[in-house]
Amino acid sequence: MPRILILGTGFAGLQTAIELDRALPRDSAHDILLVNDQNYFLFTPLMPQVVSSYINPRHFIQPIRDIRGRRRFRFRRDTVHSLDLAARRVHCAEGSLAYDYLVLALGSRTDFFNVPGAREHTWDFKSLEDALFLRERLLDLCEHADHTADPALRRRLLTFVVVGGGYTGVELITEMQDFLFHYVAPRYRGIAPADIRLVVLEATGEILRGVHPDLARYSRRRLDAEGIEVRTNSAAVRSFPGGVEVSGGEVIQAETVIWAAGVRAHPLVESLPGPHDRRGRTQVNVHLQLEEHPEVFVVGDSAAVVHAEGAPQVAPVAIDEGGLAARNIAHLERGTPLESFRYAPTGMLVSLGMNYAVVSIGRIRFSGYFAWLLWNAVHLFKLVGFKKQVQVAVDWMLGSVFPRDASILRRPVRCPLCSGQCASVGALDSPRSASAGPKP
Ligand SMILES: Cc1cc2nc3c(=O)[nH]c(=O)nc-3n(C[C@H](O)[C@H](O)[C@H](O)COP(=O)(O)OP(=O)(O)OC[C@H]3O[C@@H](n4cnc5c(N)ncnc54)[C@H](O)[C@@H]3O)c2cc1C
């Protein structure tokens, strides 16, 4: 019985499993096993809305076994530690697994570009845990700032810097702006809007590279209007507890610096033999196979497809590659010709907080409220599962009528900033001590 092992249940891995179920004959005896370190599928585009307490995190993650329904694949929650391509085995925390076909869909990790202190002192924004910790961190700091008598300390607590003006950084900072100015400032009586400072550091000359320049300019104006400082041609060159240094020597005092500046391939993929691109992605042929190991497919954020190097690390590309890898495995089983990957840009939708977005689909480009409505509609449609779609839609409706829920779920511990007089936990947490574990 041919064994097909898929590592990762993100956009690419999940699509591989779903498409394999369609592509292989109903009565075939294939053993399809999906392995992931979490037992749910994370719909990453909605993560910024967790930080702003707009949606409940449980409402946009979907347990893999619920997605599976009657499909044939098995699921195992396990963490992959190493790959042995020669022996066709994968070693996981809870044992090793043999395969005939392997699909690597392990996603990517944050690239700190070797900036001193960035890994240790900035907040990552890749996983659901990152979003949850960031939400609580933000609230912790607001609690502390609400009653501190020192205006300089209050300003530092309420200064948030996002490094990276790509779509993730922009969507995150605009969500934070909504929350801090429209929820926190009116309710926390010790915090005035002027105490809050939001900064985006972008190393290149413009934010939202890859988006049409008209839309990027519109977004810039929107962020300016919302009081978000956008610093272009400003790279973060050093990070330390309590701040970040910008190219040119300026130091920004900020208790929270979030790193959204780039991604590189998963370390297991980066360590594969053969050519890799500058982001560590392994090069695969047009059929998504490793040249030396045609039984191994690499898909999603960690794959650099030959002749399609310009394909961005986004969900639609991962989904396309996952589907293609599945069909090519079915072709190999049937002995029919393999299909080739062709990158076809699908468009770009970027939310700019409540009521604003930019949309670019083919030749159609627009911005503002209707773009925001479309952003919502598309993301709701793409969520997996009717129950989740209803839950998120209800969250959005309630969030536009009622106040958000700013409850902090963890118990307070002693805060070092005020020698323990305050009961805030946030300032005590460093990015890495708060994270759920070491990053891959
Ligand atoms: C905050 C954020 C917002 C984003 N917004 C958008 C957006 O609006 N639109 C868009 O198109 N793209 C967006 N992206 C990018 C998009 O999420 C990625 O391009 C996409 O997830 C890539 O799919 P993938 O299957 O390659 O990897 P992933 O979806 O990351 O899946 C990788 C899977 O592998 C698992 N895994 C990793 N290591 C191990 C291990 N050692 N053992 C077992 N399992 C492991 C992970 O848990 C994960 O489930 C966003 C990303 C982030 C972080």
Q: Residue 8 Cα, ligand 1 centroid: separation in angstroms?
A: 9
Q: What are the pocket residues of ligand 1 if the criterion is a CB atom closer than 6 Å to any ligand atom?
A: 8-13, 35-38, 44-45, 47, 79-80, 105-107, 125-126, 168, 266, 300-301, 313-316, 318, 440
Probe residue for ligand 1, chosen from 106, 208, 372 as the CB with the greatest number of ligand atoms within 8 Å: 106
Which has more pLDDT, 417 or 127?
127
Q: Which atom of ligand 1 is nearest to the CA of 312?
A: 19
**What is the structure's pLDDT at 319?**
97
Q: Residue 71 Cα, ligand 1 centroid: separation in angstroms?
A: 22
pLDDT above 90: percentage of residues in the chain: 85
Residue nearest to atom 38 of ligand 1 (CA): 106
Average pLDDT over residues 297-313: 91
**76 half-sphere exposure, CB direction, 13 A CA radius:** 17
| 114, amino acid identity | N
Instruction: Please write the tens of the pLDDT for every residue from 33-81.
Output: 999 999 999 999 999 999 999 999 999 999 999 999 889 999 999 999 9
pTM of this structure: 0.93
**What is the structure's pLDDT at 429?**
56
Instruction: Please write the tens of the pLDDT for every residue from 243-271.
Output: 999 999 999 999 999 999 989 999 999 99
**What is the structure's pLDDT at 427?**
44
160 pLDDT above the threshold of 60 = yes
Buried b / exposed e over 231-250, threshold 16 CB at 10 Å, is beebbbbebeebbbbbeeee
Q: How confident is the model at residue 27 (pLDDT cuts 50, 70, 90)?
A: confident
Average pLDDT over residues 18-42: 94
Instruction: Please write the tens of the pLDDT for every residue from 389-430.
Output: 999 999 999 998 999 998 988 776 556 565 555 544 444 455
Angle at 275 between CA 120 and CA 266, to 5 degrees: 35
**251 half-sphere exposure, CB direction, 13 A CA radius:** 9
Q: Among 126-135, 286-295, 305-314, 356-365, where is mean pLDDT lowest?
A: 305-314
Probe residue for ligand 1, chosen from 35, 301, 358, 376 as the CB with the greatest number of ligand atoms within 8 Å: 301
Residue nearest to atom 7 of ligand 1 (CA): 45
